[in-house]
A = this chain, B = another copy of it.
Amino acid sequence: MKLGEGVEAAIHCAAMLAGVDGAATMPGAALAEAFGVSPSYLLKHLNMLTAAGILESVPGPAGGYRLAKPSERITLLDIVLAVEGREPAFRCGEIRQRGPVRLDASAYVKPCGINAAMLKAERAYRAALAEVRLSAIVADYVSEADPRSVAAGCAFVARYQRPQKVHPNQVPPSKSER
């Protein structure tokens, strides 16, 4: 019963990416620097989030990551499952059948009660995570955390986010930062 250390980083990265405007992106190296983790290792987890459809990655200069969908539609469960895997934590190995007494297979049609109880508990865990949207995490952070921390976070985002190349028929964003 131990969650990988990358889950925490993944959630923090997603929360920070929720603060970038529009289609702008943020490089993985900047995210790694923001939290003091290994850049190369963080990319692995960000890659899993991308494969799960939570993030989008843009290659090349001015590339990076951004949310693939609005933060209201991303839950903590999505992130945890993407990083830790979708299979349940408790896997019934059917050890009740592995003893010396080999009964007929028809004696084991009923599912293992222990397995059922463990999976029910895990469903409760996942349900609790599914109720927390990324937008709620960000809103709570902005309203509850120390204003200095919020200001530092916003400054970091503004400093490192890279606006995307605009297509000719689109109006370029205001050249506010750098």
User: Which B residues lie within 8 Å of A137 (CB)?
Assistant: 113-114, 117
* Number of identical monomers bound together in the oligomeric complex: 2
Q: Mark A131-161, 1 if CB is under 8 A from B, else 0.
A: 0100001001100111011001001100000
Residues of B with C-beta under 8 A to A95: 8-9, 12, 35-37
Q: 1/0 contact trace for A106-121 toward B, CB 8 Å?
A: 1111100110011011
10 examples of A-B residue contacts, CB within 8 angstroms: A5-B91, A8-B93, A33-B100, A35-B96, A37-B98, A76-B114, A76-B117, A99-B156, A101-B152, A121-B129
| Docked CA distance A141–B103 (Å) | 16
Give me the interface of A with B, judged by CB distance under 8 Å.
1-5, 7-9, 11-12, 15, 33-37, 76, 80, 84-85, 89-93, 95-96, 98-101, 103-104, 106-110, 113-114, 117-118, 120-122, 124-129, 132, 137, 140-141, 144-146, 148-149, 152, 155-156
Whether the pair B36, A110 counts as a contact (CB closer than 8 A) is no
Judge whether B99 and A146 touch: CB under 8 Å: no
Closest beta carbon of chain B to A114's beta carbon, Å: 5
The docked-state distance in angstroms from the alpha carbon of A35 to that of B112 is 14
Residue of B nearest to A35 (CB): B95
Expressed in whole angstroms, the Cα–Cα distance for A128 and B129 within the complex equals 15
Asked if residues A3 and B99 are in contact (CB atoms below 8 Å), the reply is no
Closest to A150 in B: B107
Contact B114 A146 (CB under 8 A): no
Task: List chain B residues, Cβ under 8 A from A146.
Answer: 103, 106-110
